[in-house]
Structures are given as C-alpha cells and as structure tokens.
Amino acid sequence: MRMKSALAAAAIVALAAGCGSGGGGDKGGSAAGKPGEPVKLNFLSLAWQKESVAANKQIVDEWNKANPTIQVTYVQGSWDNVNDQLVTQFAGGTAPDVIHNDSPALSGFASDGYLLDLSDKLPAELKSDIPQKSWDTVTFDDGKGKQGVYGVPFLQESQVIIANKKLLDAAGVRIPTPDNPWTWDEFSEAAKKMTKGDKFGVAWPMKSPVNKTLNLALNFGGTFFQTVDGKTTVKVGPEEKQVLQRIHDQLYKDQSADPAALGQGTADPLPAFFNGKFAMLPAGVYLRQQVAEQAPKGFEWVTLPPLKGTTSDQGAVSQTLSVAQDSKHPDEALKFISYFLNPTNQAKLAKGDWLLPTSVKAASDPSMTTKENGWDVATASAKNLVVAPFLKVNGFDEWKSKVATPALQEYFANKISIDDVAKKLVDDGNKVLERYQR
C-alpha cells in the first residue's frame, strides 16, 4: 500500500499535541466531557495528497455540523512515523480514538491489546457493504488465540499496466479488458512486439521489489509462506518462481524490458515513458494520478487490467480505521467511522487517493466507473484482490527488509540464479521467522 509523507516534523508535533488532548487528565485520546458538553473524539488521519486531505477534512466538517453532541478533531499524521508514534501513545494512554493505518500494522497492536475488537460492534449496513475478503485483511489473533476484527478496511491497491496507446495500436496487439485480460504469455508477446531498436516493450522498476513480486505471484498460486502445525516457514517452489522467472526473462532473455528502469522507484521511469522509451509500465493503480497530471499534451495512455496466470488473483492490504482500546467513547468512535466510510464518502476518499474503495456501493459510483483516467478498469480490478498471504506472517517486515529486498534485487540484476534467490529467501528467511515463533 502506498505510504507517502506529510511533513514528518509537523506530524510529530501534531500527533503528540493533538492526540493526547484528554480533558482533565483523562487517560485516552478523547475528552471525557462535562455534563451537557459534547463528546470529543480525536481522529488521526494519514491522508497526505492535497485532494485526499481535503476530502478527509470535508467529511469531518460535515460530521461535526450534523452531530453537535459528538465532535471530532482532525489530527494530521504521517505514514513516515505513525507506528513508532502510536507505540509511545498506546503505552502512555494518549492514543487517538480513531486511528488511520494499514492492515499489516494492526496485527502487532491487536496482539498487544491496544485496539478494540470490532467483531460484535459493526453496524450491519457497514459490514455487508464490504466483502469478506476485505474483512480478512483486518482479522488477526488477539495474542490469546482468539480471532478478532481490528479495523474497518476502506482503500486497497491493485497492480495494473499503464500503457502508451499509440505504441499499442502501432504494434497491432489485442487490447485486454477486465473480462478478457492478457495472460502472462500474451503480455510477454506484446512486449516483444513493441521492442524495436532502443525502444522497449515494458519497464520493471524494482527498487522495492518485494510487495509487487509477492502480490503478482498469486497469479500462479505462489504464496511464499506456508504454515504447518502453527509454524510458518518460507516456501519458494514452482508457483513462486513463475513471476520471478517471467520478469527475469523479459529483462535478459527477450530483452523486452528496459534495463535502465530496474533500479528505479515506481514513478521514476515516467519521463522515459512519456518520451516513448518503453510502451508499458506495470504499477499500482495510484500511479495513474501522476500520469494524468504529468503527461505532455497530446500523450494518449490507457490502463490495462491485471494479468492472468492460472488466476488473476493479487495480494491486497487495506488502509484501515481502528478504535483505540483505551478510548473513552468507543461507541461514538464507531458511529463516526460508519459515517466516514459510508459509500458516498468512500468514493470521495478513493478518488482523492486514486485507490480502490472496499465498499461495493462506492465501487458502483459513477466517479469510480468512468473511462476517464482508467477508473473503470482500475475499479474492476478490485474483484481480483484477495488477502495477501504475508499479511499474517510474524516477522515479515524483517524478512522483507533484511532478506527478500537484497536477494530479489540481486536476482533481477542477474547476479544470482533463480535457485540461488530461492535458497536465500528460504534459508535466511526461516532464520528470521524462527525468532518470531519462539
């Protein structure tokens, strides 16, 4: 899930000052309120884009005007430091009532008892409007063997392909649709057709290769982790190797992938894309915003749906809203969340972040199904999202940073073989995971 920064220093000040605004020394993020005074809630938002911040603040303002007895204070946070900040606030009893985060962060906070289990508290309308596979991304063990729901999922990201329409048309390739997507083989053939001279069919920016690779691996049933008798280990078999090998083949066998993009971040290749250096850029749906805003006049681009292997499944994590266990007003906090994430508001939030709403009703909003800027294709791709297997793995973050990132970077740079990278991921990875299962 995309996590960008607001101003980190400002966020620290805002979090420390705003979230701890309990009245009369009360423990928790909300003011207890005197008789006759409104209940006061603090809402920590990690929105960072201009449009997204505006949408968040607008919804809060609309709530406050309609609910004079429950007043919400918007507190700006930052993806850069939110979890470190929350650890301090949870320990000190000063966490905000309503917390914006993403689903991978919830597991640890849930098992430590810092988040409220919402399982029996969710309004029926909210629960039924969000598919179970999205609820699965926020369902975790409470540390005592009981499964609970520790947030409401509301925004998700899929991997699509952003393509130069002129180059697609010139190559005469079939344009895939959500109902008839390209297979990986068709994608490979299309990339080869569009590779001529110093022009390439595709670019794979792999500065941060792990989440992209693991999510796409589900196209062939690759999970990278397995749990037997309560013990989780790393698995790199034929299914996991499929996407690894196919990307590697485009780089070194077919030579249809631009090698200059390999060490770049997701958005870094855009200038070359606009200049026609390559035709296709696999990326998260959010990148459409930068393409729409930065593309030169007259540049025609399209959004192509997710690829299909044995399935079109992709791993998903969710942006979430949770309630702090120590909140003095959990019922009011959940009422606010239900309003904040109603279908109309989810459509606004998704539009502001260029991501996918989990709400079924929001996904049918005309703003989510327009052909403009590929929203129809992006929204349709939500049907392919399933809970990412790594979401439930204790120790994943360390495995990702210390083992998987450097190993995959070596592999995609053609410095080690696919068997070598598999061995590193498994052997070194299991040493990491072992420490989290003692």
pTM score of the predicted model:
0.88
Across the chain, which has 438 residues, the per-10-residue mean pLDDT values are 40 42 42 76 95 96 98 96 94 97 92 95 96 95 89 97 97 97 98 97 97 96 94 97 98 98 96 98 97 97 98 94 98 98 97 97 97 97 93 90 97 98 98 90
What are the φ/ψ torsions at residue 4 (nearest 5 degrees)? -110, 165
Q: What is the pLDDT of residue 31?
A: 53
Q: What is the pLDDT of residue 283?
A: 97
The residues, any chain, with a CB within 8 Å of residue 366's CB and separated by 6 or more, are none
Q: What is the pLDDT of residue 141?
A: 87
Distances from the Cα of 325 to the Cα of 69, 104, 234, 394, angstroms: 22, 18, 33, 22
Q: 298: which DSSP letter?
A: T
Q: What is the pLDDT of residue 142?
A: 85
Whether 281 contacts 202, CB under 8 Å: yes
| All domains of the chain in start order, with CATH | 36-156+317-358 (3.40.190.10), 159-316+391-436 (3.40.190.10)
The burial class, CB within 10 Å (0-12 / 13-18 / 19+), for 366 is exposed
- Name the nearest CA neighbour of 183 among 306, 314, 301, 316: 306
Q: What is the pLDDT of residue 144?
A: 84
218 pairs with which residues across the strands? none
